[in-house]
Amino acid sequence: MAHTVDLLYSDTERTLAAALADLLSSRAQASDVVARTEKPDTYDLDLWHTVAAEIGLAGLLIPEPLGGAGASYRELAAAAEQFGAAVAPIPYLGSAAVATAVLLSAAKSSAQRTESAPVSPAAGLLRRMADGELTAALAVPPATLPGAAFPASVRVAGLADGGMTKLRGTIPAVADALPADVLLVPADGVPNALYLVEATAPGVHRTPVTSLDMTRQLCDVTLDGAPARQVAVGPAAEAAVDAGLMAGATVLAAEDLGLAQRCLDMTVAYLKERHQFARPIGSFQALKHRLADLWTMITQARAASRYAAACLADGDPDTPVAVALAKSACGEAAVAAAQECVQMHGGIGFTWEHPAHLYLKRAKASSVLFGT
Amino acid sequence: MAHTVDLLYSDTERTLAAALADLLSSRAQASDVVARTEKPDTYDLDLWHTVAAEIGLAGLLIPEPLGGAGASYRELAAAAEQFGAAVAPIPYLGSAAVATAVLLSAAKSSAQRTESAPVSPAAGLLRRMADGELTAALAVPPATLPGAAFPASVRVAGLADGGMTKLRGTIPAVADALPADVLLVPADGVPNALYLVEATAPGVHRTPVTSLDMTRQLCDVTLDGAPARQVAVGPAAEAAVDAGLMAGATVLAAEDLGLAQRCLDMTVAYLKERHQFARPIGSFQALKHRLADLWTMITQARAASRYAAACLADGDPDTPVAVALAKSACGEAAVAAAQECVQMHGGIGFTWEHPAHLYLKRAKASSVLFGT
Amino acid sequence: MTTDTDLRDRVRAFLAEHDPAATPAAEFNSARFDAGLAAAHYPVGHGGLGLSRTLQSAADEEFAKGGAHDLDPRRNVIGLGMAAPTIIAFGTDEQKTRWLKPLWTAEEIWCQLFSEPGAGSDLAGLGTRAVKDGDEWVVNGQKVWTSLAHEARWGLLLARTDPDVPKHAGLSYFVIDMHQPGVEVRPLRQLTGQAEFNEVFFTDARVPDANRLGDIGAGWRVAQTTLMNERVSIGSSRSVPREQSAIAFAAAEWRTRPELRTHELHQRLLRLWAEAEVARLAGERLRQQLAAGVPGPEGSAAKLVFARLNQEISGWEIDFAAADGLRYDDWTMHRGSAASDYTRGPGYRYLRSRANSIEGGTSEVLRNIIAERVLGLPAEPRTDTGVAWKDLPR
Amino acid sequence: MTTDTDLRDRVRAFLAEHDPAATPAAEFNSARFDAGLAAAHYPVGHGGLGLSRTLQSAADEEFAKGGAHDLDPRRNVIGLGMAAPTIIAFGTDEQKTRWLKPLWTAEEIWCQLFSEPGAGSDLAGLGTRAVKDGDEWVVNGQKVWTSLAHEARWGLLLARTDPDVPKHAGLSYFVIDMHQPGVEVRPLRQLTGQAEFNEVFFTDARVPDANRLGDIGAGWRVAQTTLMNERVSIGSSRSVPREQSAIAFAAAEWRTRPELRTHELHQRLLRLWAEAEVARLAGERLRQQLAAGVPGPEGSAAKLVFARLNQEISGWEIDFAAADGLRYDDWTMHRGSAASDYTRGPGYRYLRSRANSIEGGTSEVLRNIIAERVLGLPAEPRTDTGVAWKDLPR
């Protein structure tokens, strides 16, 4: 970090976060989120529509000419903290972060390459995503690390109608693909390429996975000759997938941070109120010291999260280091905070009714997403 | 552990430990041990003589036919706990554990090999060590792991008078070699061999090292054509060195255990007596919980130490695993206990006068001995 | 009759008269109880011979050799482990006669009604009230984390009979009939999806004064006997081989999935393996201490370490399994027990193990106990002694 | 005059009149103080202009550009960092006139006499007595961990003037002359071998009542100002580049000694490197908060992390260095300071860093502060409030 990177929250970020906190406090109440994990629709698509279209989260990263807000990863990260704090069951991570970053990268590459076509397929998709009309997901295994080798489980299986390609293969346990309208599928080949597949097209099978984290339910995706349109090819496809993974890890780190902070807040509130031995249990020094250590861990994670979002926003060459640091610091803070939250709530924290377990499951599952 | 290994202390072990505790409480008082670290003779040879010859520690492992007590590593480990508890500045580890184990292995190999010579050089040495007349040390670098490759820094440089060999080379930072009468030197060659070198012979240079742990001061050993007598050769030499390292790691683990227990005891005693905020600081729950965790760690280390000593005593095939477990569990307990001892004593624990630092330095240095 | 040999002779004589192969289990066990061969340490006339508990293994051995019917002690674990010692210690002759035999034969299942939503670590602060009404007590309140309440005929109930005295002094101990209208048992679902435990609600439930164990106001002392027997049962009675605990799952996964290995996961597994093996040795040492008749306080350490290792190892398992670690087998609610469900997968183990540091005494309470009772460190300043229970802040 | 530009102009005008190259340092600094350019936030007439502290950097920049004599603020770190703000806040005009100028020019060195062997974390429990005798106070007692006492002319003394009231209420705050027969300074040797600190013994030492800061009995409040300024100085005022803290030593060793590498040491180093880098970012974020005028409580977190990382990293260094890690450079006692000695080697760093979690507020006290002041958790039950100091157990 030769230059100075702004690690504080801007006024815009604070305002956005406050608006989301307000919305989520009524639309994603803990008891409802718990109940939804056992409903057929584990994703809350009404809430997602409000967040994506009305609040404009779907278009946050998308440039204004394509109908978006032209904001940056800094704002998206600030929003993600709120989604983590509420363990909100919406596909913002897969669509507004990962898929959007993939398409932004692809659109940029194609803009550089050909001046002929007025709008690249990627740019066309972004335009439809910007107002929340369309939800997308990158179909990669959940533990794929930024910078990993190009996924190889899907291959081109021939040609389809209308200049399209048929894809065949399986991608296990894809995050946020269940509620997606379109899937972005990396396919192995010479050269590698990235394809767009309509989620409801023939030959596309999405099997819901009984997931550790039912607030972000995974699905197994099988493509059995599914028709696909090429979005990027060769190095551009590889760069696009990597951009998506990098964005995903950064935004997930911010989500982890928000989750950790909320676990700490819930625990502090409970410890002030819960009495044993005629004292609030929050007056017991051993618990106080552990929460002080947890708060300390979160102060560290916050700096790492802010730095990664800022680097990604600025295209800083330190981005890969920043993202790895943020993912690890925030991921560990989230798991530690959720574990302490369950432990310090005692018996009640171990029940299904109490939301502590949602945080624990989300935190632990997130530590696997985008690799450890 | 298919069979059951006795992990308790025998009556003999308890009696030996009590006798040593009694002796050390008067002959190795903390203030004297602190003061000795700045004297020219950092080793307390008077105390060593009492321990080795009068209490009979030097001959503990040596069979009765060779003048020893024919006891086992179990008793030696029980004694080592007391030496650790007192950070006693005596070369018991290097002589009564490591060098003795080396020579016992060498004597056994030569007994198997030739029936002609009535007493092998190793057996002859053991006879002189059994009554504490002679102190020996194995000249290897301090961090040599049991099972490591045969040390190669010393080589044969020619022949000397009386059927002896000349050795040349350097061994850095050798433990317990400063007060030794004879050095056991592994020398590289085809085949490898183990030699006996009189510590005062011409060509033997021992340079005291300003050591992190001045209660076990190291020295650099340089052999410049020093006359040496072969003790074991080839596989027998390798087995002898390894036996010494294995014994050293096991006995050091027991020493670590005793050190950890003493640090805990000192800290508990101080916390009962020291008042801040009109309370004994031992009534503060955060400190209580940390000491409970430390005690827990020590209960685990104790089981590991007992198991390693028992395996070594029985020639159990599980010995290498047992020794590695004991070294790591006891070493970590010792460092943790010494660090908590300094921390919980606050300012006074950071002073030169208070003995806490001796435990810290011994514990940390010991974690490097015989490899980590 | 005090020796091992005498007892073995007696068992063999019994077996000669009651051929297990020819006698139905209920009849065999009934006769065995009546012959004083249920448990060596039960009182004479109540299934035992008033001998030392340690002799029982000799009798068990003989019964096993003779092909006696298996008693499945897990079916009535609270009855055998906690109710029986408490009844033996505090029960009247009538109470022993009424309860011990069907308890031992598992005709009647028992549960323990101590913990409440407002009284976990601070058990003595509990608020379930029992009010005298003639020869009966009327019980109102709620208990929680009650294993087997849905199968139990009897419950060991600790209730407040006098709110005007300091908390430990106002408790009494009852045996309550779970099959009455004032007792409602609801499954308590856990974060694993399972419902191993129950909540129990008392609404004007009734318990005869004849079902009281110990004096009025002496409930805390009686409960100590129950709890002490709970803790005794934690220690293992036999040597456990290497890699038989939670680490077995992790080690097996490592060995069979080379494609998932990384240096970081390897270092963490090596460390956990070593800690688990050392914990096993510490358990073995504890067992040897008990067998030698010199029990130490190390059982508390064992429980702390057990909880932490189960949690860390299962956490490692999820990290190692990566994509597969994100799958869970089944969230639908069902009864079940940790013991039998432990093979369900890393996700289940990770979640279930969170309770290992809460159930049977939280790790925080255990650390207090170690600090004060083992290390002799001073207690914290107390604000709840000498104050009437009803006046305590809560 | 309130702006940056005004201040810069004033400095340039001063420099035009006092050419640093042609003026001896003492004379230059004396004139600079008299011109109100010592420190922007010092009072008018006492070396300053009564401006905001944040403007000082502009003046510093101009003085540096103009080649002003270096002040070496480390020479009188306690005078500048703690004594000056306390004198400015509580001193009379006479006191400011007497002390501020030679303090600022470092003609007179200061030390802080707060901690005692019996009063560390519980500073308010201190026992050094000051008894009124005419216009003077007679001081008896012992202080400890006193940096610079052996060089100091003046000491900031917190002493008990009334043992019959609760502990916080019976303290008064004095400036004591260290150059008098009743004051004995002895070096206090640390486990590193060094003596950075001192013990100070008072035997009927005298301090005029005119040297009291604040009211009699108000010493605790005055001391808070001193301590708050101690804590302010922990935060860094400028961005620190990557790998400039303790981790630099470890990373350099790793890079230059490939023969010592193991997987285990690599994993530990990777983890420490990441934690150190994140801690650096957290420090930078703290700096940005301060610069933006919204200081947060994160400074306490920074100190906790700083201490832990220094300790863990230096521990790693010894493990990595193996045989070389067992060597120490020099145990002979000498004065010295942690800052300059930090390059002495892993052994020194390992030992010296043990104090990082004790000095300037123990990590335990910091955790209490975070829990109560940041998280708002309730205090523990107190037994020392409302009790006369002399009646407290100790």
Query: Could you report how far apart the first and last alpha carbons of chain D are, in Å?
Result: 54
Give the best residue of B281, B289, B293 to mutate against chain A (max A CB count within 10 A): B289
Residues 6+ apart with CB under 8 A from A362: A84, A87, A213, A215, A216, A259, A334, A338
Peptide bond preceding A65: is omega within 30 degrees of 0, i.e. cis? Answer: no
Which residues from chain D sit within 8 angstroms of residue A303, using beta carbons?
Answer: 278, 281-282, 284-285
Structural Rg of chain B based on CA atoms: 21
CB contact under 8 A, A279 and C145: no
Residue from D242, D121, D115, D132 nearest D188 by CA:
D115
DSSP one-letter code for B222: E
In single-letter form, the type of residue at position C60 comes to D
**Contacts C289 to B, Cβ<8 Å:** 8
Q: Regarding beta strands B182-187 and B193-198, do their DSSP bridges make them parallel or antiparallel, or are they unpaired? A: antiparallel
pTM of the model: 0.95
Find tokens 């079916």 and name the residue.
Answer: C75
Which residue type sits at C208? P
CB contact under 8 A, D277 and A325: yes
Q: Are strands D183-188 and B165-175 parallel, antiparallel or unpaired?
A: unpaired
Question: Over 70: is that where the pLDDT of A266 sits?
Answer: yes
How far apart (Å, rounded) are the C-alpha atoms in residues B229 and B236? 15
Q: In this structure, which amino acid lies at residue C326?
A: L
Contact status, residue A316 vs residue A322, Cβ threshold 8 Å: yes
The answer to whether the CB atoms of A212 and C318 lie below 8 A apart is yes
Task: Determine whether the interchain pair A352/C190 forms a contact, defined as Cβ–Cβ distance below 8 Å.
Answer: yes
Which of C323, C326, C358 shows the shortest C-beta gap to A350?
A: C358
Give residue-wise pLDDT tens across range B26-52. Answer: 999 999 999 999 999 999 999 999 999
Closest CA to C346 of C266, C249, C258, C278: C249
CA distance B289 to B332: 18
- pLDDT score for B2: 46
Residue C359 has a CB neighbour count (10 Å cut-off) of 17
Angle at C2 between CA C1 and CA C7, to 5 degrees: 70
**Number of helices (H), then strands (E), in chain D:** 13, 7
Task: Decide if the complex's ipTM is over 0.85.
Answer: yes
Whole-angstrom Cα distance, residue C144 to residue C124? 15
Is residue B172 classed exposed, middle or buried when 0-12, 13-18 and 19+ CB atoms within 10 A define those classes? buried
> Which residues in chain A touch residue B286, judged by CB atoms under 8 angstroms apart?
285-286, 288-289
Which of A6, A283, A303 lies nearest to residue D377, judging by beta carbons?
A: A283
Q: Identify which of A327, A340, A313, A311 has the alpha carbon closest to the alpha carbon of residue A366.
A: A327
Q: What is the DSSP string of D8-74?
A: HHHHHHHHHHS-GGGS-HHHHHHHHHHTT-S-TTSPBTTTB-S--GGGHHHHHHHHHHTTPPP--GG
**Lowest-confidence region among A105-109, A192-196, D95-99:** A105-109
- Give the active site residues of C: 230
C377 chain-B contacts, CB cut-off 8 A: 268, 271-272, 282-283, 287-288, 291
Measured from the Cβ of residue B170, the count of other Cβ atoms closer than 10 Å reads 15
CB atoms < 10 A from the CB of B179, how many? 22
pLDDT at B185 over 80: yes
Our CA-based measurement puts residue D134 at a distance from the nearest CA of chain A, in whole angstroms, of 46
Give the integer Cα–Cα distance in Å for A309 and A7: 9
**How many other C-beta atoms are found inside a 10 Å radius of the C-beta of residue A43?**
21
State both tokens at C222.
């009686």
Helix (H) or strand (E) holding A15: helix A11-27
Q: Which tens digits make up the pLDDT trace of B86-142?
A: 999 999 999 999 999 999 999 998 765 555 555 688 999 999 999 999 999 999 999
**Min Cα–Cα distance to chain D from B220, Å:** 11
D68/D62 Cα distance (integer angstroms): 9
State the best of A11, A299, A340 to mutate against chain D, taking most chain D CBs within 10 Å.
Answer: A299
Neighbouring C-beta atoms of residue B309, cutoff 10 Å: 29
Chain D 351-370, residues with CB within 8 Å of chain B CB atoms: 351, 354-355, 357-358, 362-364, 367
DSSP 8-state symbol, C119: B
Task: Find residues 254-293 of chain D whose CB sits inside 8 Å of chain A.
Answer: 274-275, 277-279, 281-282, 284-285, 288-289, 292
D178-237: per-residue pLDDT in tens?
A: 999 999 999 999 999 999 999 999 999 999 999 999 999 999 999 999 988 765 544 456
Q: Of C264, C254, B365, nearest to D266 (Cα)?
A: C264
What is the rounded distance in angstroms from the CA atom of residue A93 to the CA atom of residue A244?
10
**pLDDT score at C55:** 83
Q: Assess contact for A165 and A228: CB atoms under 8 A.
A: yes
Please provide the DSSP assignment of D293-352 as one string. T---THHHHHHHHHHHHHHHHHHHHHHHHGGGGGB-S--S-----HHHHGGG-HHHHHHH
Consecutive H or E run containing A275: strand A275-276
- Nearest chain D Cα to C270, which residue? D264
Higher pLDDT, A1 or A302: A302
- For residue C172, give the nearest of C121, C134, C138, C122 by alpha carbon: C138
Per CB-CB distance under 8 Å, the chain B contacts of D380 are 284
Nearest to B106 by CA among B193, B226, B174, B223: B193
Question: What are the residue numbers of the active site of D?
Answer: 230
CA triple B327-B332-B338, angle to 5 deg: 125
Average confidence score pLDDT of chain A: 95
C16 close to B (CB below 8 A) = no
How far the first Cα of chain C sits from its last, in Å, is: 54
A→C interface, C-beta within 8 Å: 37-38, 141-143, 172-173, 209-214, 218, 275-279, 284, 286-287, 335, 339, 342-343, 346-348, 350-353, 356-357, 360-361, 364-365, 367-368, 371-372
How do residues A17-71 score in pLDDT, each as one tens digit? 999 999 999 999 999 999 999 999 999 999 999 999 999 999 999 999 999 999 9
Contacts of B278 (CB under 8 A, 6+ apart): D125, D383, D384, D387, D392, D393, D394
Predicted pLDDT of residue A113: 54
pLDDT higher than 80, residue B167: yes
Distance from CA of B357 to the nearest CA of D (A): 6
User: Which residues from chain C sit within 8 angstroms of residue A347, using beta carbons?
Assistant: 115, 117, 120, 144-145, 358
| Partner-chain residue, chosen from C319, C351, C384, that has the shortest CB–CB distance to A372 | C319
The sign of the CA dihedral B69, B72, B78, B81 is: positive
Residue C379 contacts B where some CB pair is shorter than 8 Å: yes
Q: Give me the mean pLDDT over the A110-122 stretch.
A: 65
List chain D pLDDT tens, one digit each, 394 residues. 567 889 999 999 999 999 999 999 999 999 999 999 999 899 999 999 998 887 888 888 899 999 998 777 778 999 999 999 999 999 999 999 999 999 999 999 999 999 999 999 999 999 999 999 999 999 999 999 999 999 999 999 999 999 999 999 999 999 999 999 999 999 999 999 999 999 999 999 999 999 999 999 999 999 999 988 765 544 456 788 999 999 999 999 999 999 999 999 999 999 999 999 999 999 999 999 988 888 888 899 999 999 999 999 999 999 999 999 999 999 999 987 766 788 999 999 999 999 999 998 999 999 999 999 999 999 999 888 889 999 998 8
Per the rule left: phi > 0, alpha: psi between -120 and 50, beta: everything else, B67 is left
With a cut of 50, which residues of chain C have pLDDT below it? 233-235
Interface residues of B toward A, Cβ cutoff 8 Å, are 284-286, 288-289
Q: Is the preceding omega at residue C43 within 30 degrees of 0, hence cis? A: no
Packed helices A235-273 and A100-113: angle between N→C axes, nearest 10 degrees:
160
Residue at C79: amino acid letter:
G
Q: Could you give the CA distance from residue D310 to residue B117 in angstroms, rounded to a whole number?
A: 59
Task: Please report the beta strands in B28-181, taking only residues with DSSP state E, as ranges in sequence order.
Answer: 136-138, 154-159, 165-175
